[in-house]
Chains A and B, each alone.
Chain A
Amino acid sequence: MNTSALGALILAVFSVTSVWAEDIVVIVNPTAAPISREQIADVYLGRGDAWIPIDQAVGSEIYVEFYKKLTGRDSAQIKAIWSRILFTGRGVPPKQLRDSAAVKKAVAANPNAVGYIEKSAVDASVKVALPID
């Protein structure tokens, strides 16, 4: 194996970053109370809150980028955290929806729901609670 191939292999093994370029925003129902960044992190890490988190598809670019920016954790760490909650009977992982349109629809329908979508997908049916950067 030559050095560049080895380099590429090392990069492939260690790399968990993606090239997601779109801005992500956290959305809530237009009638919802304000929610802080710390609260959002607690909700998505299963640390308990009255909010109902809505997830994008596991492993999708927006999923990976959202958790990385909000919590500093990768998909495997998030899975481990929710597995602990699930298998100790404390709760179930957030419901996963197939795309941003579905997340938006769920948030628009429930005053306690919180979701995240591309900034470009925001419309009047939901309210932006926080940009994720």
Chain B
Amino acid sequence: MNFNPMPVIATSMLALGTLMAHADSTIDTIDQHVAFSGFGTLGVVHSDYNEADFIGRVDQLHGAGYSRSWSETPDSDLGVQANVTLTDTLSGVVQVLSRDKGDGNFKPDVEWANLNYQITPDLGVRLGRMLLPSYQHSESQNVGYTLPWVRVPIEISYTATAEHSDGLEVLYRLKTGSITQNLQAQWGTTTEDLPGTPFGATHAHIVLFSDTLQCGDTSVHLLYQKFDALVSSPVQFRLVSAGFTYDPGGWFLTGDSNYTQDRYFGDFLSWYVSGGVRLGRFTPYAVYSTTEAPNVGTSGLRKLGDERTVSAGVRWDFVRNFDIKLQLQHVTIGSLDDPASFGNLQPGARVGDKANVLSLALDFVF
């Protein structure tokens, strides 16, 4: 059975919020119970490599390069969110996002739809749909305005195939001296669909534990995630992730790494490091990102995803709630088996081929 409860939960929460707001019928009360917000990115990408399409997300099939010289599909998106406050301890959030999820259309999808029950100020339980904290920016990767780059380096998401889960989360905040730990445990199922991979729309159990440690301007993110297909499938991912960010305001240094184990696909290691400096409204940055497959699985696929990318760019906060980013990338293809940044690989592609990619993005929040 393939019943998706999310639209029902989402609609009920919106209806409940609206009902409560109308019961008092003043604008102030609406403000207190329901808050609407949103975000988006208008992006265009150009690639000089004609033997494949440069993509922005691993689930996309087409982008810039072979199909079209310029493409708006890799980075463009639009999201709207409603935060519903039901009582002092019970709240809900619904977020709907439109982006290219592979088939080229921007059909809206429910990204977040959950109820949060705050048992104590430091202990909360969420029930519903949540994005997975698989790596440092995985939960906010759709919100370009929150990122220093045009997009999260695709190599890091190549090794974390599921995006969200429907289930239960327990979040506990532990303060010891100047260190705050956000301990997170999730149990759920995912129905993530990755085009072009053998397991297709595999339904899977997800279990994860993560710890985000914050000490002043330093944060460290650690995660263990277990992904087991519900139906007969050789895919059993185990993901270990470790990342850090130091951001005292005037500059930042950040890095992230994923190690994925799977008997079928083999093992993957992906990581990136990035730094930037804030010069008034401009934040120039550089990134080095890579993914490789140190082990071969039973599928026999070698070097799945393999590539190296050097990027440089600048973010310009030109007016309140908007930024413009310009990013240049030089990608070296290390494998013809699904290199992370590319889809629609053509017969003329060769290992060692290089692509130069230019991305322009306008990010906004409202």
**A residues lining the B interface (CB < 8 Å):** 13-16, 38, 41-42, 47-48, 50, 58-59, 71-77, 79-81, 83-84, 86-89, 92
State whether B131 touches A88 (Cβ < 8 A). yes
User: Given the known A-B contacts A15-B280, A16-B280, A38-B216, are A87 and B317 also in contact in the complex, defined by CB atoms under 8 Å?
Assistant: no
State whether B112 touches A80 (Cβ < 8 A). no
What is the minimal beta-carbon distance from A95 to any residue of chain B, in angstroms? 10
Q: A42-B180, A89-B83, A89-B116 are in contact. List 19 more A-B contacts (CB 8 A).
A: A13-B280, A13-B281, A14-B282, A38-B178, A50-B121, A76-B317, A79-B145, A79-B320, A79-B365, A80-B146, A83-B143, A83-B365, A84-B146, A86-B37, A87-B39, A87-B143, A88-B112, A88-B140, A89-B126
The main secondary structure of chain A at its interface with chain B is helix
Residues of B in contact with A, size category: 35 or more
What is the minimal beta-carbon distance from A1 to any residue of chain B, in angstroms? 20
The total number of A-B Cβ pairs within 8 Å is: 80
What is the minimal beta-carbon distance from B166 to any residue of chain A, in angstroms? 14
User: Given the known A-B contacts A14-B280, A48-B173, are A87 and B95 also in contact in the complex, defined by CB atoms under 8 Å?
Assistant: yes
A48 to B178, CA, bound (A): 12
| Residue B79 interfacial (CB < 8 Å) | yes
| Residue B248 interfacial (CB < 8 Å) | yes
A86 to B143, CA, bound (A): 10
User: Given the known A-B contacts A87-B39, A89-B112, A89-B126, are A14 and B279 also in contact in the complex, defined by CB atoms under 8 Å?
Assistant: yes
Residues 285-311 of B at the A interface (beta carbon under 8 Å): none
| Residue B249 interfacial (CB < 8 Å) | yes
What is the minimal beta-carbon distance from B248 to any residue of chain A, in angstroms? 6
- Interface CB pairs A-B, < 8 A, 30: A13-B281, A14-B280, A38-B178, A41-B216, A42-B214, A48-B214, A59-B320, A72-B250, A74-B317, A75-B320, A76-B317, A77-B249, A79-B145, A79-B365, A83-B39, A83-B143, A83-B146, A83-B365, A86-B37, A86-B81, A86-B83, A87-B39, A87-B81, A87-B146, A88-B139, A88-B140, A89-B83, A89-B95, A89-B126, A92-B83
**B37 and chain A: residue at smallest CB distance:** A86
A106 to B249, CA, bound (A): 29
**A76 and chain B: residue at smallest CB distance:** B317
| Residue B123 interfacial (CB < 8 Å) | no
| Residue B35 interfacial (CB < 8 Å) | yes
Q: Which of A47, A72, A83 contacts B145 (CB 8 A)?
A: A83
A87 to B82, CA, bound (A): 10
8 tightest A-B contacts by CB?
A72-B249, A14-B280, A76-B317, A84-B146, A89-B93, A88-B139, A73-B249, A84-B140
User: Given the known A-B contacts A84-B146, A86-B37, A88-B139, are A79 and B126 also in contact in the complex, defined by CB atoms under 8 Å?
Assistant: no
**B residues lining the A interface (CB < 8 Å):** 35, 37, 39, 79, 81, 83, 93, 95, 112, 114, 116, 121, 126, 130-131, 139-140, 142-143, 145-146, 173, 178, 180, 182, 214, 216, 248-250, 278-282, 317, 320-321, 323, 365
A42 to B180, CA, bound (A): 10
> Which of A13, A79, A88 lies at the interface centre, i.e. has the most chain B CB atoms within 10 A of its CB?
A88
State whether A71 touches B249 (Cβ < 8 A). yes
A80 to B37, CA, bound (A): 14
A14 to B320, CA, bound (A): 15
A48 to B180, CA, bound (A): 8
- CB-CB under 8 A from A41, the residues of chain B are 216
- CB-CB under 8 A from A72, the residues of chain B are 248-250
What is the minimal beta-carbon distance from B228 to any residue of chain A, in angstroms? 25
What is the minimal beta-carbon distance from A54 to any residue of chain B, in angstroms? 15
A95 to B317, CA, bound (A): 23
